[in-house]
Amino acid sequence: MLRQVTPGRHDAYEQLLHALAGSEVWMLLWQGTPGAQDAQYGNMEVDGFGYAPCVTSARELAASGWTRAHERVGGLEIARSLFPDRWGIWLNPHAPGGGVGIPWADLRRVATGLDRMPAGPLRLSEPSLEIPQFYALLSQNAHRTSAVRSLRRAWVQPALGSPYLAIGLDLYDSSPGAVEAARAMMHQTVGAVPDGLPVSTVAMSDPYDPVALWLHAHARPFYDRDAHAAPAAPLTPGYGYPPAGPARGASAAPHVY
């Protein structure tokens, strides 16, 4: 699968992520031994983003010439361990062509379920859809739902799959009651969605979700219960993915994360 991953082959890359989730990697230790408190993975930086180098088999370990310690770790386990600190992994950096890097954004998808999140890189922009009835009804229902602070929107174009409208839910708290109230609000509103238009929700409180991060930095609320909400902090661009060209059919100035 590594040999099939080339620029633009998002399908092959997605298959690689599925394989990683169900297999093991050989993590290269810069110091210490497996399980020791002073053990540290090696690290490398590519385009300003951090990666821990690893190999995909005992044969590749021998081919790499690595003479320090290593440890075998399940792909799911290493994804859960590294993505919260915004570290990715680099598979077989010794191989011809330099191997393949998996940024932390995709390790997060591996850790939380590849089918639950859209395939990146994501192209994000302001929606250009004219659906005022849906937005009006959603705002009305949000005003009746005391758990909702504000709502934002984005047009999301995944690397694979159909584009969709994302609604960012900013709640006063993340208690089960507040989440259930927001879910009920969306259920009451989906009838106003035009046929064939996919709509998804994203929690604005998620510090790792690329859509939530983009909404914080680039989208004004179309519903805001608090009239004097503080402006969002600027977002560091990139989200672990390399730059890409503009998306076809999107509104002006799309961003890639």
**Domain end marker among 82, 116, 150:** 116
Look at residues 116, 133, 149 and tell me which one is the last residue of a structural domain.
116
How large is the C-alpha radius of gyration of the chain? 21
Q: What's the token pair of residue 89?
A: 């992994």
Is the domain of 134 the same as that of 234?
yes
Instruction: Report how far Cα 35 is from the mean position of its chain's Cα atoms.
Output: 29
Omega cis (within 30) before 121:
yes
**Hey, what are 201's tokens?**
């929700």
Are the CB atoms for 235 and 214 separated by under 8 Å? Answer: yes
Q: Specify whether 95 is located in the same domain as 165.
A: no
Do 243 and 150 sit in the same domain of this protein? yes
| Per-residue pLDDT at 203 | 96
224: containing domain: 123-256
Give strand pairing partners of 154. 166
CA–CA gap between residue 85 and residue 50 (Å, rounded): 10
Residues 20 and 62 in one domain: yes
CATH number for the domain including 35?
3.40.1350
Same structural domain, 88 and 212: no
Residue 227: per-residue pLDDT: 58
Q: What is the DSSP secondary-structure string of 173-201?
A: ---HHHHHHHHHHHHHHGGGSPTT--EEE
Judgement on whether residues 158 and 184 belong to the same structural domain of the protein: yes
- Give the whole-angstrom CA distance, residue 75 versus residue 104: 13
Q: Domain boundary at 67, 91, 116, which?
A: 116
Is the same domain home to 153 and 228?
yes
- Other beta carbons within 10 angstroms of residue 128's beta carbon come to 10
Q: SS3 of 206, please? A: coil
pLDDT at 228: 43
Residues 133 and 51 in one domain: no
| Prediction pTM value | 0.79
Per-residue pLDDT of the chain (257 residues; tens, 9 = 90+): 888 888 888 999 999 999 999 999 999 999 999 988 889 999 999 999 999 999 999 999 999 999 999 999 999 999 999 999 999 999 999 999 899 999 999 999 999 999 888 988 899 999 999 999 999 999 999 999 999 999 999 999 998 889 999 999 999 999 999 999 999 999 999 989 999 999 999 999 999 999 999 999 999 999 999 854 445 444 444 444 545 443 333 333 344 44
Provide the phi-psi class of 244: left if phi over 0, else alpha when psi is between -120 and 50, else beta.
beta
**What's 9-43 look like in SS3?**
CHHHHHHHHHHHHCCEEEEEEEECCCCCCCCEECC
User: What contacts 109, CB < 8 A, 6 or more positions away?
Assistant: 17, 116, 117, 119, 120
140 and 251 share one domain: yes
127 and 111 together in one domain:
no
Task: Decide if 89 contacts 54 (C-beta within 8 A).
Answer: yes
Residues 107, 132 within the same domain: no
Q: What is the CATH number of the domain that holds 141?
A: 3.30.300
Residues 127 and 251 in one domain: yes
Work out how many domains the chain is built from and give that number: 2
